[in-house]
Amino acid sequence: MNHPSVSIVIPAYNESARITPLLSELKDPDIEFIFVCDGTDNTDDIIEEYKKNHPDLIIRCLTFPHRLGKGGGVQAGFAVAMAPLVGFMDADNSTPIAELIRLSRLIRDHDGAIGSRHLPGQVLLRKQPLFRRIQSRIFNTIIRVMFGLSFYDTQCGAKVFRKEALDAVLPDLHATGFEFDVELIWRLTKKGYSLIEVPVIWNDTQDSRLRFADTVSMLITLLRIRTKTLS
């Protein structure tokens, strides 16, 4: 297997209905694509079939018999990534793979690049429903205050980091759900790693797995993590 320049982790929980369009976007033989399947459908079979028919690509499919959560799945992918730069994205392809590649090229004087839907220069091909946008802005405002972060969009599914920076903070991580992104960014900044926020192309798939109850659960988990570090 060739040594890739970038590893991209893609959590794929019960994604059989929408994984094929994403697979068709896999083109670069210099990138390692790591899918993490922890659901109950045949997502892993679809990925393995695509892998068999495209031997020129570096595709790995990790399968787990139990639910890991979004954050748990990403961490499982991080653990086996081979490239010096490691990113992750959503399986719905709301942020195209090309944007992950662009972010990886921006990591020069920084340790990571995170995509943003809220910075000038972003391209929103299809916006989220109004309620979701309001919910997202409120969530980010709370997070900025709670953790002292300067970033405007912690939840955009497009992030790339130096592997050495990830390895330094992974043992400290507790979050395994959708709140994982916030804790990861916070742990990296606490250790002095430099992150840049970059506007990206983004397209709402109108099939988000995130519900209002999940947002509440995220805030509760993050509050516990933050409170624990203060005690």
C-beta neighbour count of 162 within 10 angstroms? 18
Query: Which residues 6+ apart lie within 8 Å of 134 measured at CB?
Result: none
pLDDT-derived band at 231, boundaries 50, 70, 90: very low
Asked if residue 1 has pLDDT above 60, the reply is no
Report the mean per-residue pLDDT for the chain: 91
Q: Which residue is associated with the tokens 């787990």? A: 64
CA distance 104 to 32: 13
**Burial (Cβ within 10 Å: 0-12, 13-18, ≥19) of residue 145:** exposed
Q: What is the pTM of this model?
A: 0.91
When pLDDT is cut at 50, 70 and 90, the band that residue 131 belongs to is confident
> What residue has token string 């990138």?
31
Average pLDDT over every residue of 21-49: 96
Give the model confidence (pLDDT) of 85-119 as tens digits.
999 999 988 899 999 999 999 998 899 999 999 89
pLDDT at 75 over 60: yes
Mean pLDDT of 183-200: 96
Highest mean pLDDT range out of 116-120, 161-165, 173-177? 161-165
What is the rounded distance in angstroms from the CA atom of residue 192 to the CA atom of residue 172? 15
pLDDT on residue 136: 80
Rg (CA), the chain: 17
